[in-house]
Amino acid sequence: MSTGSIDIEAKSRKYTQSYALNTAKGVAALLRDRHRIAERRYRGDTAASDIIIDLHSAIESAGLTERQAESIAWVYGRDLTQEMTAQIIGVTRQAVKQSVDSAIERISAIFQRWDYGEVTVEVTATESEDETIVIA
């Protein structure tokens, strides 16, 4: 007789993360998690490709100032703190925070204009391979 293992807690480790892209909070969360979502493209997840392409299009369409774009690139693109970003670009942390916040507002306004809804990502906590992106 053979024995097997059944993961009776598998469902409890699944959760969803939603990004309301017509709000600044949702855009900030997507920017924070975009590296993880972007990795899904290399596993054939076309929905992940779509959301990353749309995010980049929204950033380009937002008409960000040079400081806003640079702040977003360092904070969310390179995952640096606002303090580290401030040191790199030679401004105060508060200036970086203001730049990031206003950039996120502008990006959010683009998603609002596009009448973009909510994006939901389903994730299994222990295995990121089971991640699924659903655009609602």
For residues 124 and 14, give the distance between their C-alpha atoms in angstroms, rounded to a whole number: 4
Residue 27 lies in a domain: yes
pTM for the complete prediction? Answer: 0.80
Residue 123 lies in a domain: yes
Domains of the chain: total:
1
Residue 45 lies in a domain: yes
Average pLDDT over residues 104-131: 79
For residues 132 and 53, give the distance between their C-alpha atoms in angstroms, rounded to a whole number: 17
**Least confident stretch, 39-43, 74-78, 114-118, 132-136:** 132-136
Residue 110 lies in a domain: yes
Residue 5 lies in a domain: no
Residue 6 lies in a domain: no
- Each residue of 22-45: pLDDT tens digit? 999 999 999 999 998 888 888 888
**Least confident stretch, 5-19, 33-47, 54-68, 94-108:** 5-19
Which of 46, 31, 9 lies closest to 132 in space, CA to CA? 46
Which of 100, 43, 48 lies closest to 69 in space, CA to CA? 100
| Distance from the Cα of residue 8 to its chain's centroid | 31
Residue 85 lies in a domain: yes
- Each residue of 54-84: pLDDT tens digit? 999 999 999 999 999 999 999 999 999 999 9
| Residues belonging to the chain | 136
Q: Is residue 11 over pLDDT 70? A: no
CATH of the domain at 25: 1.20.140
Residue 117 lies in a domain: yes
The parent domain of residue 78 ranges over 15-135
